[in-house]
Amino acid sequence: MVVEVKNLVKRYKELIALDHFNMEVEEGEILGLLGPNGCGKTTAINCILSLLNYDKGEIRVFGEKMTPNSYDIKREIGLVPQEVSVFENLTVIENTDYFCGLYIDDKNKRKQYVEEAIEFVGLKDYTKFYPKKLSGGLKRRLNIACGIAHKPKLIFLDEPTVAVDVQSRNFILNGIEKLNDEGSTIIYTTHYLEEAERLCKRIIIMDKGRGLVSGTNEELKSMISTSEKIVVGFTEIEDETVQNMKNILHVMDIEKAGEDYIIKFENGFNNLANLMNFIEENQLVYTKLQSQLPTLNDVFLELTGKELRD
């Protein structure tokens, strides 16, 4: 196990930021911490890195207890903090070299690593630029380069795509997949569910400092009662017919959303075919018919009663 967190409790006076939080990260995986802003993702990372005191619990990294003096463990870790954390008056190459040099003493090896990191994040044409001259997306890439240049075994990426353009976001996500392919274990925090779905082999959904559920993408989706949603729009439909629709096999609930109806189905197959039969039998004319598989947002909604982006 690369990281083990047991019963972690962190309080800020009256506020409980982490409430008996548990986490296990296996070697080579990308673990996603998914949850809304303020749910405790960054606090969890800062506690694991021993930057923050905590009230209760146990943290082990690479099998050893993590303390502020665990310099050998820190040598194997890379951090990409949520805020861009670079020297404003050092160039791209100087920043990357400075932070890489805190881990790598050998000059030639460091030079090679720095060049690779800059190429990896696509900043080769900007090596002499100061951060203030870079766009938000490019700054984020520099932030990543400074955190991964020393080729760490374990990388913490704390919301690395916040406030970046689509192009940079895709670049960053591709890069993270590549880092994982090269053998790095990654802990990735985000409140963007698409990112978690795309990248993470395992996901912990967090809210109010607690880990609500954890599992693979499929496992999480299978935990909720809704397995399929079909959105359908009719030219005309009577209330009685809508009530009759509830008798279709596996239908759990029907919601009106504007002019459309969202029909939620329990686990089961042939939901769309069954609905089509009903439409034919009742001679209904539909303007829209769209099948949606559940998303992590549905999982979050069912677990907490609120949208992930609330």
Partner 1 sequence: MKNLIRNIIYQGKNLLRDAGFSFWVMLYPLILAMFFNIAFSGMMDIELTNIDVGIVDGNPIEQVLEEIEFINIHKITDEEVIEKLDNEEIHGFIDEDLNLTVKKSGINQTIIKEIIEQIKQMEKLNRPIENYDFEANYIVDRNQKANSIIVVFFSLIAMFSTYSINAGISTVSLTQANLSNIGVRVNSTPLKKKNFLLAGVIVALFLNLLANGVLLLFVKYVLKIDLLKNIKYSIILIIIGNLFGVSLGMFIGASNKKSMNTKILIGVASTLFLSFLSGMMGPWMKDVIDEHIPILARINPISIISNNLYRINILESTKTVGEGIMILFSYCGVLILLSYMFLRRKSYDSL
Nearer to partner 1, 28 or 101 (CB): 101
Q: Which helix (H) or strand (E) element contains residue 30?
A: strand 30-34
Does 275 interact with partner 1 (rule: CB under 8 A)? no
Residue from 16, 38, 98, 297 that binds partner 1 (CB under 8 A)?
A: 98
- Least CB distance from residue 202 to partner 1, whole Å? 23
Residue from 7, 37, 53, 277 that binds partner 1 (CB under 8 A)?
A: 53
Of residues 131 through 150, those in contact with partner 1 by CB under 8 A are 146-147
Q: How far apart are CA 229 and CA 71, in angstroms?
A: 51
Contact 155, 184 (CB under 8 A): yes
- Of 89-97, 165-173, 207-215, 231-239: span binding partner 1 (CB under 8 A): 89-97
Residue from 90, 254, 262, 284 that binds partner 1 (CB under 8 A)?
A: 90
Does 5 interact with partner 1 (rule: CB under 8 A)? no
- For 6, the token pair is 């047991």
- For 89, the token pair is 């008056």
Helix axes 92-101, 136-148, angle to 10 degrees: 30
Please provide the distance, in angstroms rounded to a whole number, between the alpha carbons at the two ends of the chain.
33
Q: Which of 79, 300, 66 is closest to 189 using CA atoms?
A: 79
Q: Which helix (H) or strand (E) element contains residue 148?
A: helix 136-148
Q: What are phi and psi of 233, to 5 degrees?
A: -120, 135
Does 51 interact with partner 1 (rule: CB under 8 A)? yes
Does 127 interact with partner 1 (rule: CB under 8 A)? no
Nearer to partner 1, 85 or 297 (CB): 85
| Residue 276 neighbours by CB under 8 Å, 6+ apart | none
Does 69 interact with partner 1 (rule: CB under 8 A)? yes
- Of 43-51, 218-226, 256-264, 292-300: span binding partner 1 (CB under 8 A): 43-51
**Positions that interact with partner 1 (CB under 8 A):** 12, 46, 49-53, 68-69, 71-72, 74-75, 77, 79, 81, 83-90, 94, 98-99, 101-103, 105, 146-147
